[in-house]
Amino acid sequence: MKLVRYGAKGQEKPGLIDQSGQLRDLSAHIRDFDGDAYSPASLKKLAEIDPASLPAVSGNPRLGAPVTGISKFIAIGLNYSDHAKETGAQIPTEPIIFLKANTALSGPNDAVEKPRESTKLDWEVEIAAIIGSRAKYVSEADALNHVAGYCVCNDVSERYFQTERLGQWTKGKSHDTFGPLGPWLVTRDEIPDVQNLSMWLDVNGQRRQTGTTKTMIFSMAKCISYVSQFMTLLPGDVITTGTPPGVGLGMKPPQFLNVGDVVTLGIEKLGEQRQEIVAA
């Protein structure tokens, strides 16, 4: 299934995309896609619904992030060796964990704010997992069984805040709109091999990132298992898992985003996003 939240900010409704690409309303069956709505039992009930029986949604409504009310927005850093090299960082021997503020979460096509004092606004196409069931001390072999589905994520980053203001990654990753997620959540059963998906990102129509989840240093299963050793993962939690090479910081000379720039990105089978940069 492709599950979505659509409508104006703060007024989103739950929906799904049927096989023809039609958006259909799920409001009669579920209140919203908060964490518990992505539990295995809830997803099973949704899968039993005939999409043709659901009301079709006309027009082209805004899409919100496909999950709300999350407890944690977790990220893995430097998880592609070529990206680590381009930034001058050492290739990590264990996953690097940091947090993005929950308030960074935004819709896949919402504008991205350039913060006040920002000088090095950067892009990162990533694949994110949405947790479906509580995970604590889970094994790598069992980790993906705790996943509800996968999404495209742009881990927007302010490098000046991140690396030059006492090296606090969360500070450079958490401004409002720094976590575009979606356009939809694709349930795990539709992604048989999460380690074999192509990824891309363009800035103003020019290709900046081309990659594949094959080249992750630490697999999706490894990332989820590893994080669960340090904190309990709850339904709805987001884990985004690093970016391939091609970020602005790694270009020679470095290039960063300015007001008016447009970023487009996507991942095979998971859809595409588009964001315009605006002043905060």
Contact 168/246 with Cβ under 8 angstroms? no
Q: What pLDDT, on the 0 to 100 scale, is given for residue 114?
A: 98
Query: pTM of this prediction?
Result: 0.96
pLDDT(178) > 90:
yes
| Strand duo 198-203 + 23-25: pairing | unpaired
Res 85: pLDDT? 86
More confident residue, 13 or 91: 13
Calpha distance 134→121 (Å, rounded)? 34
Residue type, 76: I
Ordered alpha helix ranges (H), the chain: 40-47, 81-86, 159-163, 169-173, 220-228
Residue 15 bridge partners (DSSP): 4, 25
Residue 142 CB: number of other CB atoms within 10 A? 13
Handedness of CA 173, 177, 183, 184 (dihedral sign): positive
* Four-residue CA torsion sign, 256, 268, 72, 80: negative
**Cβ 277 vs Cβ 263: under 8 Å:** yes
> What does CATH list as the number for 73-279?
3.90.850.10
What is the tens place of the pLDDT at every residue in 210-260? 999 999 999 999 999 999 999 999 999 999 999 999 999 999 999 999 999
Q: What is the pLDDT of residues 110-161, one digit of tens each?
A: 999 999 999 999 999 999 999 999 999 999 999 999 999 999 999 999 999 9
Q: Are strands 238-240 and 73-77 parallel, antiparallel or unpaired?
A: parallel
* Greatest C-alpha distance within the chain: 55
Beta strands in the chain (DSSP E): 2-6, 13-17, 23-25, 63-64, 73-77, 96-100, 105-106, 112-114, 121-122, 125-131, 147-154, 157-158, 179-180, 185-187, 198-203, 206-212, 238-240, 262-267, 271-279
* Separation in Å, CA 223 to CA 2, 71, 240, 266: 23, 18, 9, 21
CA distance 77 to 95: 7
Q: Give the start-to-end residue ranges of the domains of the chain.
A: 2-64, 73-279
